Amino acid sequence: MRRLLKHLLALFVACFAASLWAGSIDVWITQESPLQQAFVDALTPALADAGHEIGTIVNSAAVVSPAPSSARVVVALGMNATLSALRQSDATVLATLLSKRDAERVLSEYGTQRLAAIVLDQPVERRLRLLEQLVPDVESVVVLLGNRTASHRGKIEDAIRAAGLAPRIAVINEPAEIVAKLEALLDPQAALLTVPDPEVYNRDTVMGILLTTYRHRRPVIGFTAAYVRAGAVAAVYSDPQDIAMQVVQLLTTAGSLADFPRGILAPSRFRVAINERVSRSLGLPVISELETLERLRAAEAAK
């Protein structure tokens, strides 16, 4: 009987604690799209399992003045939804599905008091570990930066040197410069580390970049699975479901919904895509995506 009473008391305390911290979270979307729908579909049941629920889904593109809400936290999907939520609600905002560049811009305007952002950009260190796993002979890393990302040059160079590699970086002022500067930097032990900079990497430039590296028989590390399908050797990336699960973890592991860390947060959940056809054609050792992912996770856990 005493054991049963202890069990009932523990159950009561757990239920009371769950009800104390339970709450609703509003979700602001930029537009109705498969990507954002996948995020919401993953977020909803995971929040419910933790005792929370989505209160209102607000389409920031269609609403001028949203209805009053008691939600303490807004999860915003994309840059426009983030700006709308900050301007039109008083809740703490957790921004998602936006680039690091956009996150830096909005943080510079609104500060970190009520804003955090889980960005899509993978840490450079994680991408360099992927490169070293797949390209054993790599000695130098080529990086092409546009004018807007040139300010990150120092941090990128430091990360490359910390990995024991030589940085070979060029700033692109005009798209016409890309191929010539890339060819000047590629050497027999180099690899191209792409960065999410639309001034350099876009639909008009991607094939020229990939063809140039392939002609030199040097590998490319992309920043999306789509880039791998186009011809990059590999990429590490996070999909909407990964970011949604990170959101749930942030919202449910602290004392209350709004107690998550502020500022820019790197994606903690990630996947690996490998183009085996390109890897074989370049004479690289073929490692499965699962094995590569497990090695990356182990390396980060050890660190």
Residue 8 in this model has a pLDDT that exceeds 60: no
Mean pLDDT of 106-111: 91
Mean pLDDT of 266-281: 96
Which tens digit of pLDDT belongs to each residue from 158-167?
A: 999 999 999 9
Higher pLDDT, 259 or 56: 56
pLDDT above 90 as % of the chain: 69
User: How is the beta sheet containing 73-77 ordered, strand by strand?
Assistant: 53-59, 24-29, 73-77, 92-98, 115-119, 263-265
Considering the domain 17-120+241-265 in this protein, what is its CATH number?
Answer: 3.40.50.2300
Residue 66 in this model has a pLDDT that exceeds 60: no
**What does pTM read for this prediction?**
0.85
Higher pLDDT, 181 or 62: 181
Count, in order, helices (H) and strands (E) of the chain: 12, 12
Mean pLDDT of 251-267: 83
* 3-state SS class at 107: helix
70: confidence class by pLDDT, cuts 50, 70, 90: low
Residue 78 in this model has a pLDDT that exceeds 80: yes
Angstrom distances, CA of residue 245 to CA of 41, 61, 240, 292? 11, 25, 9, 21
One of 3.40.47.10, 2.40.10.120, 3.40.50.2020, 3.40.50.2300 is the CATH number of 124-237+270-302, namely 3.40.50.2300
Which tens digit of pLDDT belongs to each residue from 165-178?
A: 999 999 999 999 99
Instruction: Check: CB of residue 296 under 8 Å from CB of residue 126.
Output: yes
Comparing 47-51, 115-119, 227-231, the range with the smallest average pLDDT is 47-51
Comparing 7-16, 68-77, 248-257, the range with the smallest average pLDDT is 7-16
62: confidence class by pLDDT, cuts 50, 70, 90: low
CATH 3.40.50.2300 in the chain: give the residue spans. 17-120+241-265, 124-237+270-302
Residue with tokens 């692109």: 172
288: confidence class by pLDDT, cuts 50, 70, 90: very high
Residue 104 in this model has a pLDDT that exceeds 60: yes
